[in-house]
Every structure is written in structure tokens, then in C-alpha cells.
Amino acid sequence: MGVKYVVDFAKQCVKLQVLVHVSTAYVSGERSGLILENGYRMGETLNGETGLDINMERKVVDDKLNDLRSQGASDKDITLAMKDLGIKRARLYGWPNTYVFTKAMGEMVVGELKGIVPALIIRPTIITSTYKEPFPGWAEGIRTIDSLAVGYAKGKLTFFLGNLDSVVDVIPADMVVNAMIAAMMAHASHRPLESIYQVGSSVQNPIKYSHLQDYGFRYFSNKPWINKDGKPVIVGKVTVLNSMDSFHRYMAFRYLFLLKGLELTNAAFCHFFQGVYSNLNRKINFVMRLVDIYRPYLFFNAVFDDLNTEKLRMAARTSLVEKDMLYFDPKCIDWEDYFMNIHIPGIVKYIFK
């Protein structure tokens, strides 16, 4: 409901020139091909399922939360149950997870309630560390793509699940900010018809997962991470699992059979190994849950149209500010140089612990 409150507040601002709503390009769900910069109607779903009502979704959440509390559920159990509910509701209407489902509903609220308020929607793709400003390589918090780098550099990532030939759409954070500023300037001055801007790189300057794998291997082979014992972590080529079937076979042979054997041994020895069993079971469940949540992105087979955003770039070039101030054209990025000399060193400095 936060979006509703913001829109309601914006309506009371008589001198407001533009309202910016930041969404995500992945409100597209698991669709393939070229994803256009189109909006969502209130109640529209990805799979054609009828009955999506935002107020009802809020009631479902409130009822579930109240029910769990009345049963005396622990905070941990409540958190897990609410996460499961979110995924269930998202998938009911065709979205893969709660994050993109709520982002899509946020867009619907803006479109439905804005009235005469001039509003625009920014849809960034996967945001990476800064390209130039406030300085190259700045990042805060572990993003999905960075968690892979951290796990790999520390020797904890033994396999990669996904299609290495797929395009991964990444865009530096400062380019997203510059696109937002350019859009605000355009709408404040002459209010173009476009209201949705997808900010990414998959059309203008695509990069594949195979490139990221190569950059990571080369960087950490040359500059290995030093572990807490003061020893360098030697990295190698990871096993690539290019389908969910291969992933399930890998997990079964490497971990699930071991877990089953440990379960039987634990029972035979009067739960002497309960701690070891519980810890391994928890880790396996965590991995399986993460894979289930991020599966749509690991095998994502689409690119994001950015025609509206390209119009902003053209306008910025015309005004001669794009080059020095509002750079947000991904075509200027040399991905090898960016990842090898900016992004990976940046996450090592600001994220690795």
C-alpha cells in the first residue's frame, strides 16, 4: 500500500512536475523474446488468471499473519510461512516470485490512481556497481549476480546453474540514476507521451553469462581471495548445469544420498549425529529454495526493449549534457574492462568480508 500513499500524497502537491516510480524490468515474469515498454492494467495477470484484486491480496496477507500469531507461531516460522504465501500468490497469477509480483501491482496502482499527476515508471534490469560516479566500482549490499562472485571467489560455489549462452542484462547503478534524472527533465519540460522506461543493456550492448564466468575465472586466478587463515583460495572452472534435470541429478548424487545415509545413521545411533544432520539438511533446503526462487532468471530467454529510453538518450545528446553529465548509454561500456577493472575490484573492496 506504500505506492498508494505516495500517489495520494503526490495529488496534494499542487506544484508537482513529475512523480517517478521505480519498478523492475522483471515484472515481465518468464516471458521470452523482446519485452516491450508496456504497462499493466489494474487486475491484469501474466497467465490470464482472473480475480487479481490488490485489496483482496492485502486481506489474504493480513488473515494469514493474524492466524499464525493466534497459533503462537515463532517469528522464524511466521517469516517462512509468509514467504511461502507470497510465492504461492505470485505464481497463482503467473509471476515467479513475490518481489516482481508486488512490483507489478505497484505499477498498476500508479496507473490506476495517478489521475492528472504526471507520472513515469523506471524499470531497471540487474543493477551493478557504478561505472563512474560517485566513483567507479561503488556498491552496497550483495546483489544476486554478486553473490555468485562472492561464492566463487571463496571456493564455495562448485557449480553454475543456467544457460551460459543466455544474455544477462546488467546496468551500472549510476546509469540508472542518470536515466531517471533525464526522464524527469524531459517530463518536467514537455511531458512526452512515453511513461515507461526500461533501463538495461540487453538490446544495446548484450553480454552473456559465459563472459561473466570467464571474467571471474581470470580475475580470481590472478588475484585470489585470501581466506581467514591467510591462504589464497584457488579457483577453477565450475561444473555447468544447463537444465533443472541436471541440477536435481547433481544434488541427488552429491548431497541427497549423503543426507539420507546420515539420517539412517543418526537414527541408529540414537540421534548422536542430530546436529550434523540438521545443519546439512538446513543448507540443502536453503539451496533448493534459492534455486526455486531464482530459476526463472537463470534460464531467462528475453531481452528488454528500450526504445523510450533511447529517445531520452537522443534528447540528452542533443542538449550536449549526455557526455559529461547524464551518461546512460550502455553502448559506451567495454564489458571486459568494466568487470575486470571496475566491478569485480569494487565488490571485493566494498562487499567481500
Residues labelled as active-site residues: 99, 103
Distance CA 114, CA 230 (A): 57
Distance CA 196, CA 43 (A): 18
Distance CA 272, CA 47 (A): 49
Please, is 345 exposed, middle or buried when counting C-beta atoms within 10 Å of its C-beta (0-12, 13-18, 19+)? middle
Which DSSP letter does residue 319 get? T
Half-sphere exposure of 71 (CA within 13 A, CB side): 12
CB 37 within 8 A of CB 140: no
Nearest to 295, CA basis, from 170, 179, 162, 120: 162
- Which three cell numbers mark 88? 504461492
Please, is 35 exposed, middle or buried when counting C-beta atoms within 10 Å of its C-beta (0-12, 13-18, 19+)? buried
User: Between 75-92 and 98-113, two packed helices, what is the crossing angle to 10 degrees?
Assistant: 60
Q: Which SS3 state, helix, strand or coil, does residue 139 take? A: coil
CB 169 within 8 A of CB 201: yes
Half-sphere exposure of 284 (CA within 13 A, CB side): 19
User: Between 257-268 and 274-298, two packed helices, what is the crossing angle to 10 degrees?
Assistant: 160
- Which three cell numbers mark 123? 524499470
- In angstroms, what CA-CA distances link 253 with 172, 247, 248, 281? 39, 10, 9, 15
Give the helix/strand (H/E) hosting 20: strand 19-22
Q: Which SS3 state, helix, strand or coil, does residue 132 take? A: coil
